[in-house]
Structures are given as structure tokens and as C-alpha cells.
Amino acid sequence: MTASVHEGGCVCGKVRYKVHAEPSIVVVCHCEWCQRRTGSAFAVIPKFDKPEFELCSGELKVYREINEYGRWLDLGFCATCGTNIGFTQERWPTARAIDAGTFDDPSWITPSKHDFRYIFVRTNHDWTNIPEGSQCYEDQLPT
């Protein structure tokens, strides 16, 4: 696969980052934690290998959450404006999840090209639609 670079950042512009690859998977997460941390209906989270993520400027503050399975998630956000950039987690130690909406142009992420998985659909609200034929999981993604 040819090397691809995509850039993104936070609302105030202090945090800027690049990813140097295509995501291995794109998780669309309807869990209540993602709903709360994003303030939205669900999270769209392309996943990369940690070395494919480069923080170019600014500082990512980290908040550690212990989830309902007793595992940690480190949520990264801009220390100035609070924008969620994504997270790392104990369950997938080599992966970095990036919140899709923080890319300068998130339109390159598409189900026609990437492997989309819809998870925690048991807490999906009836005011959001999951596209027909999607790969859905009631709970977390199986390992």
C-alpha cells in the first residue's frame, strides 16, 4: 500500500498531528462512554498503529479512565481547548484510536475503502441510523 499522510488538530489549533498510514479498521462506537466524551450520538474512530501517529505541535493531556471491564483507557485531549483527539487502551496496546472529526478533511475515511465495524449497538439511540448491511456488534469488538 502506498504511504498516505493525513493531518488533523484541535479546535484552538495548538494540537496538530499527522497519521502516516491508512487505518487498520474504523470503529463506529455507540457506547455511552464515547457518547459522553464526545458529547455526540456516537464516535467514529479510525485505528492506527501507535508509530503511525505523530504529534507535530501542542500537548496532549491524558485522562485515564478505568472502564467497566477493569481496563484502562487513556483519553488524549488538548490542554487548552479540551478537544478529544482520541485514545489508547489496555485492550489494544499497539493501537491508537483517533476521533475522525479532528482530521482537517475527514472525508477520506469511507466504508467503500476502509473496514467499518459498528460496536455497542445495544446502546444506539433510535434517533441515529446504522446503515443496512453493516458489521454490527452488540458489545465490544471481539479480539
**b/e for 72-105, b at 16 or more Cβ within 10 A?**
ebebbbbeeeebbbbbbbeebeebbbbbbebbee
- Give the span between the Cα atoms of 139 and 56, in whole angstroms: 34
Stretch that binds Zn ion, among 6-14, 16-24, 103-111, 129-137 (CB under 5 A): 6-14
Q: Tell me the number of residues near Zn ion by CB under 5 A.
A: 9
CB of 1 to Zn ion, least distance (A): 27
- Asked if residues 130 and 124 have their Cβ atoms less than 8 Å apart, the reply is yes
Stretch that binds Zn ion, among 23-31, 89-97, 101-109, 124-132 (CB under 5 A): 23-31
CB of 33 to Zn ion, least distance (A): 5
Window 50-109: residues binding Zn ion (CB under 5 A) = 78, 80-81
Helix (H) or strand (E) holding 38: helix 32-38
| 12/41 with CB nearer Zn ion | 12
CB of 79 to Zn ion, least distance (A): 8
